[in-house]
Amino acid sequence: IEVSKLSFKPASTTRQELSGSTFRRVRRVLMVWLPGSAIFLPNGARIFNRLVEFLRKQYVRYGFQEVITPTIYKKALWAKSGHLENYAEDMYTVTSTSPSRAETTEAGEEDEYGLKPMNCPGHCLIFASQTRSYRDLPIRYADFSPLHRNEISGALSGLTRVRRFHQDDGHIFCRPSQIEGEIRKTLDFIRLTYGVFRLGSYRLALSTRPEQYMGDLEDWQQAENALKRALDASGQPWTVNEGDGAFYGPKIDIILKDSDGKEHQTATIQLDFQLPKRFNLEYIAPAPELEKKGETTTDPDLLAAYGPVAPVMIHRAVLGSVERLMALLIEHYNGKWPLWLNPRQAIILTINDTEPVKRWAKHTRNLLLGISPELNVPASPTNLADIDLDESSRGVGRKIHEAKSKGYGIIVVVGPKDVDEGTVSVDATSLIPADSDLREIRRLKTLKMTPERLR
């Protein structure tokens, strides 16, 4: 039962959180909702991929390594992780559709898989796949795998049942002495990310040791003190939920307040003293008895004796459920996307549909996207992911109006005069320029459009 505390809020509550009209708009252009899981249409997939791309860049900064892990694992693994005991209600079982293809265990019974509801066991397997030294730690793994849970989050409608969602999931394996530093870095990662989204203020809530806990009291107290120091250092307001932690460790929740004052739990940081023990994870360190307590020594005798120590595991998600964060962003931006997230970043419009103008429009698109006929990885001079093209014969005024109402950030207009002079007109008036957007516009405007540069 307690393992379910690891669970993040379900993705599909977004359907209820969204107001009717916004939801209908979302449904139309970004996603189609099947009961419990979303199909991302092309524009929705663009936003999803840009969020992933953004996080990947931050992973370079914060020292996370992305891994790609299986979707299904044998039931034996879920027994080892404790999920079968504590989380079975919310899990799906995978079996062969055809009895003749069923795998059998050595004992002869049919073997089954569990569809993963979280990535922690997979990341433990990777940690365990090599011998680790204290010098290797912290080791930080990130994973964007789709996750499946059979959670019932409300009795009103079958649509609120969660089935499939994505999480910007990550696990840090660290030495006890590194807890405070890792929590500080994670809080900084969260501050940076929510600052980029401009989603407004959030508060942090620390959940401490419950009455039913596992592990040493001393470990708990040291870890909670480390978390409190990191929270103080974050400069964010924080509160305590006394006794509300999981049996395996304290946690910090990030609670975002939207413009209506409604609160949303998004990011989570969860310490875990137990899972590393279930998986027999260890690293080799000098003075292991002190190492376990996060203490150091200069005593050469103690330092000469190396031994195994269980790492502390930190589960963390910065966005939480990507689907749910996307729903918050959709509400928040209300169609006025910052350029980097805008699924409709740029469009090229022709003043007429004559051949030279259409050719010039295509050349401009290829130039801006770095598309050349060479056998090569395109090297784009801009950061635009894609550029649409409207070369229809309709009036340019109507085309501009339509492009603006569809939410295009940058509108490039080309006409016969541009063909002669090697120019284009860039209209970026519908942008709410963030710094990065301004940089993009400047880059666009200073690009030389001369035919020599076109292929």
- Cβ 434 to its own copies, closest distance in Å? 8
Q: Does 315 bind Zn ion (CB under 5 A)?
A: yes
Q: Cα 358 to the chain's mean position, in Å?
A: 39
Report which secondary-structure segment, H or E, holds 300.
Answer: helix 300-304
Q: Does 450 bind its own copies (CB under 8 A)?
A: no
In the region spanning residues 416 to 435, those forming contacts with its own copies, defined by CB under 8 A, are 435
Q: Does 451 bind its own copies (CB under 8 A)?
A: no
- Cβ 207 to its own copies, closest distance in Å? 26
Bridge pairing between strands 410-414 and 388-390: unpaired
Instruction: Calculate the CA dihedral of residues 73, 75, 79, 80 and round it to 10 degrees.
Output: -40
State how far the Cα of 394 lies from the Cα of 402, in Å rounded to an integer.
11
Cβ(168)–Cβ(144) under 8 Å?
yes
- Cβ 369 to its own copies, closest distance in Å? 6
User: Which of 46, 185, 209, 316 is the binder for its own copies (CB under 8 A)?
Assistant: 46
User: Which of 26, 120, 287, 290 is the binder for Zn ion (CB under 5 A)?
Assistant: 120
Q: Is the torsion defined by CA of 58, 60, 63, 65 positive or negative?
A: positive
State how far the Cα of 238 lies from the Cα of 231, in Å rounded to an integer.
7
- Cβ 181 to its own copies, closest distance in Å? 17
Cβ(250)–Cβ(312) under 8 Å?
no
- Cβ 123 to Zn ion, closest distance in Å? 7
Query: Which residue in the list 15, 83, 132, 149 is annotated as catalytic?
Result: 149
Say which residues have a Cβ less than 8 Å from residue 185's Cβ, sequence separation at least 6: 62
66 contact choice in its own copies, Zn ion, none (CB below 5 to 8 Å, kind-dependent): its own copies
Q: How far is CA 371 from CA 107, 226, 380, 408, 453, in A?
A: 58, 51, 7, 21, 12
Query: 3-class SS at 312?
Result: strand
In the region spanning residues 313 to 342, those forming contacts with its own copies, defined by CB under 8 A, are 340
Residue among 101 and 260 whose Cβ is closer to its own copies:
101
Number of residues that bind its own copies (CB under 8 A): 77
Residue among 196 and 240 whose Cβ is closer to its own copies:
196
User: Which of 16, 19, 34, 85 is the binder for its own copies (CB under 8 A)?
Assistant: 34
Residue among 214 and 432 whose Cβ is closer to its own copies:
432
Cβ(83)–Cβ(3) under 8 Å?
yes
67 contact choice in its own copies, Zn ion, none (CB below 5 to 8 Å, kind-dependent): its own copies
In the region spanning residues 60 to 89, those forming contacts with its own copies, defined by CB under 8 A, are 60-61, 65-73, 88-89
Query: 3-class SS at 238?
Result: strand
Is 169 an active-site residue?
Answer: yes
Residue among 57 and 211 whose Cβ is closer to its own copies:
57
315 contact choice in Zn ion, its own copies, none (CB below 5 to 8 Å, kind-dependent): Zn ion
Q: Which stretch binds its own copies (CB under 8 A): 148-156, 253-261, 297-305, 353-361?
A: 148-156
Cβ(157)–Cβ(297) under 8 Å?
no
Q: Which residues are catalytic?
A: 120, 149, 167, 169, 171, 251, 315
